[in-house]
Each structure stands twice: as structure tokens, then as C-alpha cells.
Structure 1
């Protein structure tokens, strides 16, 4: 295994994920699960806040000099220093509906660049992680393996995924996504973290989202790029605060951006 200089941070990220998994698995399908909504009308459960509070508490003890930014309790990522970026439950809608496709996302951002990514999906029995310079890895029921993106080089042969077609209508352009679908071989909506992890695994070739927050993609960016892929926003900028996300195997990235940009709004 290639060793990243962030090995100790990866070890800690694994402990944080274990802490999160213990909470989320206990609250999944709980009859007394408390559900509210945030100002943007997205749902939040008591499990979301419990996970973030527990992870923040552990970080305060183990990395007191680092900052924290999370979906539920706030904080800024910034471009200076070390910031742990948390999404306690990515896929909250799935979580509250009893669908097992959700995960805790943990990233370490150093001077504005994600350098450690940990994604744990306990009900899927899968955990993905990466540290800058150390490759991307997956552990599932078959064991542990290093990840590599696909070698598909033409959109006509590509497998593409998004989260929700309606989000393209609200936040970008329905025509843009449909143009990409028409250019590709097959399309699905695996959604959220999972589609980006599947790009890192080489199982699909393109994952695209018109609306994201930094905590949705900080861990994703490390895992995809360490697997040999490419991550940008829909303007082609390598940043996690661009408000959108595109993960590809790298070979398809420019063609994907051009296809999206070339479609007329609608």
C-alpha cells in the first residue's frame, strides 16, 4: 500500500467514521426518529445532528488546533489552515425513508485543498478513503482494494449518473443534462456520494450534479482524483465551493463540460 503523508489523519478519519456509523446504524429506521427541515427545506434528522456533535467532540480532543465546518453546525472552509469538513449523513432523504443508500462524509481540507477523504456507508457495507499521494481505497465484503477509474474514452460508450433531474430544472438547465444523457451510452441516478464513488471504482464514467455544498464533495474530490479521475465544478474549476460538481475518469471530462455548456437552457 502506498503511504500518504496524511496517514495519521486518515487513521483519525476512520475513527470518526466508526463513531458516526455507530450512531447512524442505531437510528436507521428508528420509530422515534425526529425529523425537521432547514431553511432550504431539506430534511434534517436527530441522527444528523448527533453525528456531527459526536465527531466535533472527538476532533476537539484529538485535533484541537484544527477548525471544523459541518452541514448542521456551520463553519467556513476557507483557504488557510486545516479544516475538517463534515456531512454527517449524505442522503438524508434516503435515510429517513428507510433506503440504505446514505453515508457519512469526512474530509480534511488544508489551505483550501482537500487532502483526506473518508466516506462510510455502513448499510451498504462499504467504506471508501484516500489521502493525498496515497491512492484511493475501498473496503467491502470482498476485502480491501485500491481503486482506479475506467478507461472509457468516448461519451458514446460512457455510463453517466446524476442525483435528480428536477435539480437541473431548478439550478442549471434541464436541456444541459438531457444533452449529456443523449451523448452517453447509459444513464442512471445513483445520486449523492455513491455516484462519485462509483466513478472512483471504475464502475461508471461520469457523475454530475448541478447543486452541491463543500461538505457534499470535499471527500469525493480526494477519492476521485487519487483513483486517477478528475473533479471540477460545471465551469471546469477545480474547487469544492463552486456550487456544482463533475467527477469523471479524466478522459471524458472536457467532452462532458463542452456538452453541458453547449446545450441551450431549457
Structure 2
């Protein structure tokens, strides 16, 4: 990537996340969230905080990186002329947000035509930030800073697996997920983007999901790959377009999981 250095990108991404957090936190665990349902056939909530936070992030990026494109969950795509695009999800995990659980996060990624190159996941309520890409990966929070590194579990039977929804996606996708889940040591649910951050931090070994969008996965992909992990779709191809996602701590665990998923 040309035209900037790592410190600049990390600083800009951090400023965007700070702006989002300042908007979001006054709404967290409050009654008046201005919630709407975006999905007439199901439940896909959006709040005042989602939209206001993305506007705040875009203001930072427009001032600091005016030539770059922006893709955001709430406000769509703004074209740039540098070949670089900031990919934003102001509140990944809105269901957790409206439920009062601090498992949602602010996602900021910088991507080029090949996919994500830098990613940040910020959880402002508990004060944790995970960053990765362009040659480094680290987190900082209440206990200070430390490197991010995925853990080296070798056998699927020793692995911890996360997904957000027990039903995962379609009926077929749910069956495929359960086939992996039956082989691991522990399965947990409901963490949204925080599950990917825990994988990058060496706490868990697999995240398997379906039905995701690009803005859900760009930052997690950059984080996990920078920490030594692997992220693909369920057939081993690029994952940054969204859809079916398999994130793994090691190539070995990834191979064991994908051998099962590719049967569905």
C-alpha cells in the first residue's frame, strides 16, 4: 500500500473509532435507543447510535483521508480515487447492544482491491481495542498493551468454537455448523465481532458464521491474519465479500474444519 505509513493509518482508524465511541456510549444501556427493524421478514435492528456513529466516523475520514472511498453499513458506499476503501460497521452486534451486553464493537478496516489490509475492533464500554495489519497486531485495554497471537491448538477435539446465532444461517448451513460443533471441545454463542477479536487474542480457535456482509468481516479478517490465523469462506476462497466465514487460529485447525464444512 502506498501513500501513507502504518502509524498514520492506525492513528486515523483510532480517531474514527474514538469518534464513534463518543457518540455510542451515551446510548448504551439506555431506554430510548430510537430502534427500528430493517428486516420486514425477521429482526435486524438499527438504532440512532448506529447511524450517528457512522456519520461521526465519516467526518473524521473525510477530513483526514479525503481521497479514500468509504463503505459503511448504514450509509452505503462513497467512491474515492486512491484505490483504498475504509470499511465501517459502527455497531457490529446491535442485538447485543440493545440487550446491554458489552460484546458489540466498532469495526474499522482499510482495504484495497485484494481485500483488507488493516483492521481495528474497539469495545469502548470495557476499554479494549484490537488492531492488526501492515506488519503488526496488538491489543490494549485495562491491563495495558500486548501483542495479538493466535494459539496453536492442533486437534479439532481440543478447540473452542464460536458463532453468533445457534441457527447460523440456512438449514443446510446450520447442519454443517453442528457437524463441526460436535467435534470440538466447547461451543459458545452470541459474541458477534468480539468472537473474532478473542480468536486473534489466542482465547478461542474457530469462528464459523454465514450470511455476513463485507462490513462485518473486513476488520476481523485483517486482525486475525495479522495475529497468525486464517480466514476464508467455507470452500477455502477469499472471505472479504462476506457470506460463509471460517476463521481459524491455525492452518491445521482450519483444514480440519473445512474438510467437514465442504460436505454441505
TM-score (norm 2): 0.92
**What's the CA shift for 1:6?**
2.4
Identify the residue that residue 154 of structure 1 maps to in structure 2.
Answer: 155
Distance 1:176 1:107, change over 3 A: same
**What's the CA shift for 1:29?**
2.1
Where in structure 1 are there 5+ consecutive unaligned residues?
none
Contact 2:150 2:249 (C-alpha < 8 Å) held by counterparts:
yes
Identify the residue that residue 25 of structure 1 maps to in structure 2.
Answer: 25
Identify the residue that residue 253 of structure 2 maps to in structure 1.
Answer: 252
Distance 1:77 1:185, change over 3 A: farther
Contact 1:7 1:131 (C-alpha < 8 Å) held by counterparts:
no
Identify the residue that residue 52 of structure 1 maps to in structure 2.
Answer: 54
Residue by residue, what CA displacement relative to the aligned partner does 1:34-91 show, whole Å, maximum 9, x if unpaired? Answer: 011214641100000000111111211111101100000111799x811000000001
Contact 1:86 1:105 (C-alpha < 8 Å) held by counterparts:
yes
Summarize the alignment of residues 48-197 of structure 1 with structure 2, pairs less than 5 Å apart.
Answer: 48-75=50-77, 81-133=83-135, 135-170=136-171, 172-197=172-197
**What's the CA shift for 1:15?**
0.7
Identify the residue that residue 262 of structure 1 maps to in structure 2.
Answer: 263
State which drifts further: 207-216 or 33-42: 33-42
CA distance in 2, matches of 1:205, 1:60: 37
Is 1:206 the counterpart of 2:198? The answer is no
Contact 2:163 2:195 (C-alpha < 8 Å) held by counterparts:
yes
Contact 1:208 1:246 (C-alpha < 8 Å) held by counterparts:
yes
**What's the CA shift for 1:189?**
1.1
Residue by residue, what CA displacement relative to the aligned partner does 1:220-247 show, whole Å, maximum 9, x if unpaired? Answer: 0111001000011112112310412111
CA distance in 2, matches of 1:57, 1:15: 10
CA distance in 2, matches of 1:67, 1:81: 8
Where in structure 2 are there 5+ consecutive unaligned residues?
none
Contact 2:209 2:244 (C-alpha < 8 Å) held by counterparts:
yes
Identify the residue that residue 218 of structure 1 maps to in structure 2.
Answer: 218
CA distance in 1, matches of 2:237, 2:15: 32
CA distance in 2, matches of 1:63, 1:258: 42
Residue by residue, what CA displacement relative to the aligned partner does 1:111-149 show, whole Å, maximum 9, x if unpaired? Answer: 23211111100123211001222x211111111000111
Distance 1:242 1:147, change over 3 A: same
TM-score (norm 1): 0.91
CA distance in 1, matches of 2:154, 2:111: 31
Identify the residue that residue 241 of structure 1 maps to in structure 2.
Answer: 241
CA distance in 2, matches of 1:239, 1:245: 6
Q: Pairwise CA RMSD of aligned residues?
A: 1.9
Is 1:231 the counterpart of 2:234? The answer is no
Distance 1:122 1:242, change over 3 A: closer
CA distance in 1, matches of 2:181, 2:95: 25
Residue by residue, what CA displacement relative to the aligned partner does 1:151-202 show, whole Å, maximum 9, x if unpaired? Answer: 10110111111111223345x4222111101111111114311111111111
CA distance in 1, matches of 2:30, 2:62: 29
Size of the alignment, in residue pairs? Answer: 257
